[in-house]
Structure 1
Amino acid sequence: MTPTPSGSSSSPPLRAVIIPCAACKSLRRRCGEKCMLAPYFPPSDPAMFAAAHRVFGASNIIKFLQELPEAKRADAVSSMVYEAGMRIRDPVYGCAGVASQLQSQITLLQVELANARAELAKLHLENTNLVAFLCDQTPQMPQDCCYVDDLIDELCDFPENVIDWDVDNSIGSTWEPLWI
């Protein structure tokens, strides 16, 4: 190197070392300051980009992000990464498969709940009949003070907040399945 008139050697200006984002590192390209993928695919999590890239492709991810306002891009990337993970697990149904399984579980639980409520109503009716029988058979208890609900509470010692018989029992009236 030749010294300059000021006495210092001419060297290239020092630049900050930029760690490429997971997308640029995976695609083996230079990650610039204006990299669209850098804010959403940090270098610390390369698997996140790998899954999205495998399902959607880098060019499609960039196209999706360009079409969205910046405020919605992070949510879109999160959704794409989740969908990609589900597509890798279940290539045919993806997220729809998970939603369908959850819908089936909801249906089964609603049937189980309806059966439990029916059994509870049956037991309540049996208790009512038993109390009515006891009212008829007990001579020291006057007929006009024999209130069925009061006797059930006294005989069974139910707290009032455990069973609420006034609840609308309309299971399935507004429920519709997600998938037909």
Structure 2
Amino acid sequence: MASKPCAVCKILREPCGTNCIYKPHFTSDSARFQDVHQIFGAVNVAKIFNRLGSEDREIAANCLSYAAEARRRDPISGVYGMKLYYESILNDVEQEIRSALNELETNLGPDQVPKFFDIPIPDDFLNTTASLDSYIEKIKNLTTVEKNNLLQFWKRENQKMGDGASTSAGPSTAFGEKHQ
């Protein structure tokens, strides 16, 4: 018995063999391909896939699916509308953080509020898929000496901030050099 053709081959009315480049990404009953086909067209998807290597096709399939779903939800703005929506949420959160920091500075004094932009970030932080839970576990497993060293770091940073130097210049140069 022959296997069912993938969603792309079915629409293009092409034979769907075992080495079909679309089959791993759009199965025969793929509801996700219906949105992609409606927005971009099966012929355009085929052109895109034929230009890409096998390692990039999964990324392309996910991007096309994401963009098609965004366009289905918001026919006018699509992905751009989602970007604007999430940017507005981010701006609201940043405003709440600034407000909370101002309130802390008012109640505790500016020299008692920790400066979170100086928190050391591991070099592999952006390369890992680890959640915050793994870092919390690492902190819980620190030895007493390691915890004291971390506290000393905070005391040194607070002393630097209390030396009369302006804090309006932004993050320290060590942070800027490390993450540029």
C-alpha distance in 2 between matches for 1:74 and 1:66: 13
The 5 Å alignment of 1:74-93 reads: 74-93=58-77
The structure with the greater share of residues assigned to helix is 2
Distance 1:93 1:40, change over 3 A: same
In structure 2, the partner of 1:52 is 36
C-alpha distance in 2 between matches for 1:95 and 1:40: 21
Equivalent residues of 1:26, 1:50 under 8 A apart: no
TM-score (norm 2): 0.57
Helix, strand or coil at the partner of 2:21 = coil
C-alpha distance in 2 between matches for 1:55 and 1:18: 27
Unpaired segments ≥5 residues, structure 2: 113-150, 162-166, 172-180
Helix, strand or coil at the partner of 2:86 = helix
Q: How many residues align?
A: 122
C-alpha distance in 1 between matches for 2:15 and 2:52: 24
The 5 Å alignment of 1:79-158 reads: 79-125=63-109
Moved beyond 2 Å, runs of 4+? 22-36, 163-168
Correspondent of 1:69 among 43, 53, 64? 53
- What CA RMSD, in Å, does the superposition of the two structures yield over aligned residues? 3.1
C-alpha distance in 2 between matches for 1:110 and 1:38: 43
Helix, strand or coil at the partner of 1:65 = helix
Offset at residue 89 of structure 1 (A): 0.6
Unpaired segments ≥5 residues, structure 1: 1-15, 129-159, 175-180
| AA at the equivalent of 1:120 | L
Equivalent residues of 2:9, 2:16 under 8 A apart: yes
- Give deviations 1:23-45, integer Å, cap 9, x for gaps: 333555543344332221112x4
The question of 1:22 aligning with 2:7 is answered yes
C-alpha distance in 1 between matches for 2:19 and 2:107: 70
| AA at the equivalent of 2:2 | V
Percent of aligned pairs with the same amino acid = 31
Q: Work out which of the two has the higher radius of gyration on C-alpha atoms and give 1 or 2.
A: 1
